[in-house]
Amino acid sequence: MASGRIIFLNGTSSSGKSSIARELLDILDDGVFFHLAVDAFNAMRSKRELGAEELDAALRRTRMGFHRSIAAMAEAGNDIVVDHVLSEPWRLLDCLTVLRPEDVLFVGVRCPLDELTRRELARGDRPPGLAAHQYALVHGHGDYDLECDTSSASPRECALQIKEFLPRRPSPTAFTRLRHLIDGRDPLRA
C-alpha cells in the first residue's frame, strides 16, 4: 500500500490555515483527504486546571502524539491536510523524524503582522499577542515547497494554488532538504 500524501500547512495563529484546509477538502478531487488540526487535538484534552510545568509537559505529549497520528494516517494510505503551528524548533524536528519527507508538501501560510493582529482581535478566541509571539518563530527554518499570503489571496485562492502545485512537488521536497540539514547531509547528493 502506498503512503498517503501530506499537505502540511504551517503558519501563525489566525493566518488562515484552517480556512485553507476546509477549502482544500472541498476542491481536492483525486483522493480522500482528512484535515488533522493541532487545535482539534488540544481540544480533546481534559479541562482540569494544570500548573505551568504540568501543562507544558501535557502540551508537548499532545503535539508528539499529533505528529505520530499524522504519520499513522499517512502510512495507512490516507491523504492528509495538516494544520499546525511550528512555533518551537522541536516541533519541526519531531515532524522531520516521524513523517516520510518525500510524502510532505510543506506550505508556508503567511500574513503580515498588522493583519494577524486585526484578525486575532476580531476572533476573540485567542490570547492577545499570540500571533505576534509566533510571528518570527514559525517560519524560522526558512524553507518551503510553496508559500501563500492570506492577506492578498482568499482561502479558496490559496487552496487552488496548492491543488495546482500538488502534482508538481519538487524533488527533493522541503522536508527532505530540512531533514538532510539536521542530519548534516547534502540533500542534492543523498
Give the residue carrying C-alpha cell 477538502. 25
Query: Best-predicted range by mean pLDDT among 124-128, 145-149, 180-184?
Result: 145-149
pLDDT value for 190: 42
Residue 130 has, within 13 A of its CA and on its CB side, a CA count of 15
- What is the DSSP code string of 120-178? HHHH-SS-TTHHHHHHHHHTTT---SEEEETTTS-HHHHHHHHHHHGGG--SS-HHHHH
Encode pLDDT of 27-75 as tens digits.
Answer: 999 989 999 999 898 889 888 899 999 989 999 999 999 999 999 999 9
pTM for the whole structure: 0.91
Angstrom distance (rounded) from CA 13 to CA 63: 16
| pLDDT > 70 fraction of the chain, expressed in percent and rounded | 96
Mean pLDDT over the full length of the chain = 92
Distance spanning both ends of the chain, measured CA to CA = 25
Encode pLDDT of 153-189 as tens digits.
Answer: 999 999 999 999 999 989 999 999 999 888 765 444 4
pLDDT value for 46: 87
Angstrom distance (rounded) from CA 135 to CA 166: 26
Catalytic residues: 39
